[in-house]
Structure formats: structure tokens, C-alpha cells
Amino acid sequence: MPEAGVRVAVTGMGAITPAGADVATNLETVRAARSAAGPITAWDASAHAVRIAAEVQDFDPTPWVEPRHARRIDRVSLLAIGATEEAIAQAGLEPGEIDPARIGVVIGSGVGGLISIEEQIETRVTRGPSRVSPLLIPMMMANASAGHVALRHGFAGPCMAISTACASGANSIGEGVELIRSGRADVVIVGGTEASITPTSMAAFARMGALSGRNDDPAAASRPFDRERDGFVMGEGAGILVLESEAVATRRGATILGWVVGHASTCDAHHITAPSPDGTAAVSCMSLALADAGLAPGGVAHINAHGTSTPLNDSAEAIAIAKVFGASGPPVTSTKGVTGHLVGAAGAVEAVFGLVSAVAGLVPPVANLTDPDVDPDIDLVRGEVRTIQTGPVLSNSFGFGGHNTSLVLAPA
């Protein structure tokens, strides 16, 4: 067991989203508040009520996976593999450097291999059950992404998937922190991945009223905390971080980018999709994360909000933030105006954005925020990048089922 107070370092980060194929490109797009939403191109959406999404364009997994193998892996796992490669490269993690049994993998997803599920259901209906792919199960299972990453690199430590809807990526980071704190792993590859822009998924989310209907103006569709918000834009992508104990990172000479200093999870226990309107459980989640980090609210330099662009979520989150941080709280941003909502990948991608922003002291503005409409008023970053003093960031992820997760990340 490690000594009490073991610190968890971030030594590598990777991101593939509609805003870019790597962390640097993503940050450029996010800081420019340039929306990545557009008409759906992966399939014919002409008969759908919602015909827009934020897709990862021109994604090519063949630098990491041979074409014949890529056809046997769902897009959700291929995105995770790609983001992991960037994170591991930045971390400088070399084969054999650390006992593989001490390296874990925790990669979450809200729905897993949904593309494969839908394709094979159509195959069964149109061509019969004997034509269903024998590879469907390993392609659709939610733990496939974690399994593929572990298999590719020979990581033999704890390997798991966490599925808590839109909190999956953030929950996975928290679980990785605990694996290191408890001494069960020295290094953990953590994050989230999602590829759920499918005909049935889009139809279902549209039917429940969760998606923006701005088909004629997709770039303006995702507008967190804005008076004209009418729902989120479905996105896809993956975010991965390499976590390791301070002792291990120091021993191998890794560059420490920052620290995960606190995390917490709670449940609204209110409604299966709608957030608790008074934000009680979200307040508790943020407060517990700050306590885990040993920080008072005044010690947070900025907040990366969940900020989905749905009327109920943005309102409840603003109420919760105001309760925790008071009238003079830190700057608040949401990057979903650019990337759309990456569901199970959102929390991990936004942890990457949040930590880089905290290190640089540059908070990106909320895209499409022209007329803020939340009560009580919070300090929303709008118009242009906000320069702040470097310091810890609080990153929120709130998912269907009432799942809440808050992370506190600090610059090195």
C-alpha cells in the first residue's frame, strides 16, 4: 500500500473529437469558439427530424490498426485507440519500462458499440439470423475499448469500463485515481469514448426532445446557457489521460502536466433523464470533490461546466454552481458549443480541455453565447478567451440516471 497522500499525476493526454484529431487542434478550435456541428454525413438523415450532429471528419484508424483488423472493431473502440496513442506518446511510456501488471485501463462509454448493433440488427432483419456477424458481441460490448487498449499494449493490470451515461469519462478518471491511491496500480490509462451518431440513437434522442432542431443552422445549434438554447448537438470522439503516481512519474523522468487532486460522484435520485432542478446532488458532488482536493471554493480558478445546451441542465447547473461558489464565483465555460455533446467521452475530453486551460491560464469562451439566460447569474466566459491566473479547474459531468461526477485538476 502507498503512503497516505499519494499524488496522482497526469503525464499524457489525447483527444479525437469533431474539433480536431489531436489535443493541439482541439484547443485551437475551442479557443476560437468555432462550432464543429454540421449536417450528418455518415448516413442518409433526410427522413429524420434532427439531421445535424458533430461528427469526427476523415477519421482514419489505419496508423494504429491494420485495415483488416479495423473492420472487426467498432468505431467507438477505434476512436479510443487513436486518442490513447497520442496520450501514451506524450507520456513517453515505453514498453517494459513498468511492470505490465501494474498498468491499468479504465475507459468508459455511455452506450458502447452502437454502430455495430444497429448494422447487425438490420442484417438480421433483411438477410436472416444466420448472417449476423460472429464478431458482433466483441464489437458491441461496452468494455471492448478498454480491452483493445490493454491488448494492444500488453497492459495486464485492472481493466474495466464504466458506463454512467454522460458522466462515464469523468467517472473513469476518478476510478483510475483510486486505483493509484490504493496502490493497486502505478499507471492507469483513463478516459471515455463514444460513437453514437446512428439512425436509431438520433431518432430516440430527438423523440425525447433532447436535441437541438436547428437543421438549417447547425453551427449555432449548440449554445450552452443561452436564452435560445433548445437542446444539445450529438457528438462523438474520445479523450484519454495517462495517470501515474508521483513516485513513478518522478522515477522515470516523465514530464508532469498536472494533477488530479480531487473527485467525487453523487446521484440526483430524482428522475431517469431530467436533472434535479434545485441542483442539490450537484452541489454535494462539487463540494465533495473540493473537499477531496483540500480546496475551498475560492481556490478554484475556473469551472468547465457540463453545460449541454438543454434548458433544464444548464439552469440546474447554474443554480448548483452559485450555491457552491457564491455571487463572486470563478469564470465558467462549456466547450460543448464547439464539440457538441460527446456523451460518455465528454467528461474525459473536457478534463483534457480544462487541465490545459488551467496550465495556460486561458479559458475558452462559450460558443454561441449571445444572450445569457441563467438565474442566478454566474460568470460565463463569452466573446473571447479569458486570461486568468493559473490554478485548479473544476470539471463537471452530469449524466442521465442522475449521475454526477466532478473532477478537480491542478497545473503542475
**Residue 250: which pLDDT band, with cuts at 50, 70 and 90?**
very high
The conformation of residue 177, written as its DSSP 8-state character, comes to H
Q: Which of 166, 263, 302, 403 is catalytic?
A: 166
Task: Please name the residues in contact with 94: beta carbons below 8 A apart, sequence gap of 6 or more.
Answer: none
CA distance 212 to 160: 33
Taking the alpha carbons at both ends of the chain, their separation in whole angstroms is 24
**Residue 1: which pLDDT band, with cuts at 50, 70 and 90?**
very low
CA atoms within 13 A on the CB side of 302: 29
CA distance 353 to 23: 8
Range from 2-16, 51-65, 195-209 carrying the lowest mean pLDDT: 2-16
Domains and CATH numbers, the chain: 8-251 (3.40.47.10), 262-411 (3.40.47.10)
Active site residue 306: yes
- pLDDT at residue 379 greater than cutoff 60: yes
Give the CA distances from residue 394 to residues 299, 351, 357, in Å, rounded to whole numbers and listed in that order. Answer: 10, 9, 11
Active site residue 153: no
- pLDDT at residue 395 greater than cutoff 50: yes
- What's the pLDDT at 5? 79
Q: Is 256:412 a contact under the CB 8 Å cutoff? A: yes
Q: Which of 148, 153, 263, 306 is catalytic?
A: 306
- pLDDT at residue 2 greater than cutoff 60: no
Share of the chain above pLDDT 90, in %: 97
Active site residue 166: yes
- pLDDT at residue 3 greater than cutoff 50: no
Q: What is the amino acid identity at position 286?
A: M
Q: What is the dihedral of CA 54, 189, 354, 324, to 10 degrees?
A: 110
- What's the pLDDT at 147? 98
Please state the rounded mean pLDDT for residues 394-407.
97
Q: Which of 148, 153, 341, 403 is catalytic?
A: 341
Q: What is the dihedral of CA 302, 368, 336, 25, to 10 degrees?
A: -90
- pLDDT at residue 375 greater than cutoff 90: no
Query: Quick check: helix, strand or coil at residue 305?
Result: coil
- pLDDT at residue 257 greater than cutoff 90: yes
Averaged confidence pLDDT in the chain: 97
Give the CA distances from residue 36 to residues 217, 228, 340, 341, in Å, rounded to whole numbers and listed in that order. Answer: 12, 19, 7, 11
- pLDDT at residue 384 greater than cutoff 80: yes
pLDDT in tens, 266-309: 999 999 999 999 999 999 999 999 999 999 999 999 999 999 99
- Where helices occur in 158-232 by DSSP H, the ranges are 168-181, 199-207
Q: What is the amino acid identity at position 19?
A: A
**Residue 4: which pLDDT band, with cuts at 50, 70 and 90?**
low
Q: Is 352:238 a contact under the CB 8 Å cutoff? A: no
pLDDT in tens, 319-363: 999 999 998 899 999 999 999 999 999 999 999 999 999 999 999
Grid-cell match 433526410, residue found:
46
pLDDT in tens, 205-234: 999 999 999 999 999 999 999 999 999 999
Please state the rounded mean pLDDT for residues 166-181.
98
